[in-house]
Homo-oligomer: A and B are copies of this chain.
Amino acid sequence: MRRSHLFLLSGAALVLGTGAHAQSADSARIIDEGMNRSQVMLTASQLMDGIGSRLTNSRNLDRAEEWALAKLRSYGLANVRREPFEFGRGWNMTSSKARMVEPRVIEMTAIPVAWTPGTAGTLRAPIVVAPISKVEHLAAWRGKLSGKIVLLTMPGVSDEPKEAAFKRLSDKDIGDEDNYNLPTYDPETLDRRLKRFQFAKQVDAFLKAEGALAWVRKSYRDGKLLHGEGYSYLPNHSPALPGFELAAEDYRRLARLAKTGPAPVIELMSDAQFDDSDHLANNIIAEIPGTDPRAGYVMAGAHFDSWIAGDGAADNGAGSAVVIEAARILRTLGVRPKRTIRFALWEGEEQGLLGSRAYIEQHLVNRATPPGMDGITAYFSWLNRFPLSKKPGYDQLKAYFNMDNGSGKFRGIYAEGNAAAVPLLSEWMAPFNSLGAQAVVAGKTGGTDHVFMQAVGLQGYQFIQDPLDYESRVHHSSIDTLDHLRADDMRQAAVVMAGMLLAAANSDREIPRPPLPTQPLPTDPFAYVDPDE
């Protein structure tokens, strides 16, 4: 963290000369526009409150795309467009219901699991608690599930949260991120993932063959929070049975009643419907053209898709709104950067970073995903598929900034293991140190759209953000709504995002690029595979 201060003094003021003065003037205008005339929360409200959840290839995401295209065009951005990629089935759900009707009538809190079929009216059946988490568990339930609604999760007990739900990073928290993470690659990860994918299909087929009517899983958070993630979006992999996620409190009540008395009878309704009118998803792209066509481009991105339980606010309407606001700020200031600044809203992120990977396959490298492979499986296999070669666009991309860690204030940026990137990232961030964005740390992060850029040697970076209540209760949940965003944090993030983009677009230097990978990541020569995993 001290390092960035040093760069503020030595780098910006002493070394950079005129470049630094230009950046300072730009930064002041960016701060003024982004702090005093911010639109970021109004933009966010239009998206989250007005449109809501945005499951990839859902009607709601179509609406959001229209809105985003219009919004970006209204700011005068150039080349505003959709870039389609192959995804999978559309799935839409607007109404669902779950009630216990015996031994008493009570409304339960539940959500259909994404990409499971609707119920065609209301299902009414006794439940059976049949915890099934591996193939070996299936045999015990043969002949016992006909006409039943099957509860697949072990009931467990309620959680005892010993940490505060809302958190900001301390200096020590941030300092702990400043470490080079040793590269690790577990070649079994892919096998395990494939097994899990196969197992889900096997359970569905088993339940169908046994005559079960639907399955229910327990929410992984207490407090009546719901999520509803599901991954069966590929055309030939749709499950036969409706699946529901039930609030943990409601699930455990059913389990206790079933253990101590006659099986409760419940009703489930989901109006979910598949939509096969197309199987495409789209990335949204917009640009501020650079003045030097040979200088390449820099890019900011955030995934635009969400899960279904909330409004997709912290994950990742926040990132989307910040990218859009950064674009607005820069357009409003009328900047004419040397390099093109490209803005990207990705889709299919929640299914395995599909949109950003499609972009990379379309524009940056030759390494395609085998057709029909599900996203999460591809996530693990794609990283280590060789040979890998550059497309012509590869060298054009000079820096990519991703936002997808909730709505918390930017406290710095991860150099993502590229130690050579630290000086320039620090320099670009220096004008925003007093806004709280200070640290440039070596640490590497995963799980979102900079990952595949990193994996092919490109300069993709994520910001360090205050966690707020993202992990504790908001991420993917039914309370991922706008009011769990912090307006002040969002303004700050948009300012820093705009500032970093403009600095990168005008910089007379480029972030050194790591070598293009030529072989899989190292593996542990002593590793055995645990047969139970």
Contacts and interface: CB of A to CB of B under 8 A. Distances in A.
A166 B157 contact: no
Interface in A31-48: 42, 45-46
Nearest to A160: B166
A333 interface: no
B260 A52 contact: no
A252 B481 CA distance: 9
Given A161-B164, A469-B160, A52 B483 contact: no
A49 B252 CA distance: 10
Contacts of A468: 160
Contact of A224 (B51, B165, B253, B478): B478
B252 A483 contact: yes
Contact of A257 (B50, B96, B224, B310): B50
Interface residues of A, number: 49
Determine how many copies of this chain the complex contains: 2
A382 B46 CA distance: 53
B50 A158 contact: no
A42 B256 CA distance: 9
Interface in A439-481: 468-469, 473, 478-479, 481
B253 A483 contact: yes
A252 B487 CA distance: 14
> Residue among A104, A106, A222, A483 with the most chain B CB within 10 A?
A483
Nearest to A484: B158
B52 A104 contact: yes
Nearest to A310: B249
> Residue among A96, A161, A252 with the most chain B CB within 10 A?
A161
Interface of A: 42, 45-46, 49-52, 94-96, 103-107, 109, 157-166, 222-225, 248-249, 252-253, 256-257, 260-261, 310-311, 468-469, 473, 478-479, 481-484
Closest 4 CB pairs of A and B: A160-B166, A161-B165, A249-B481, A158-B483
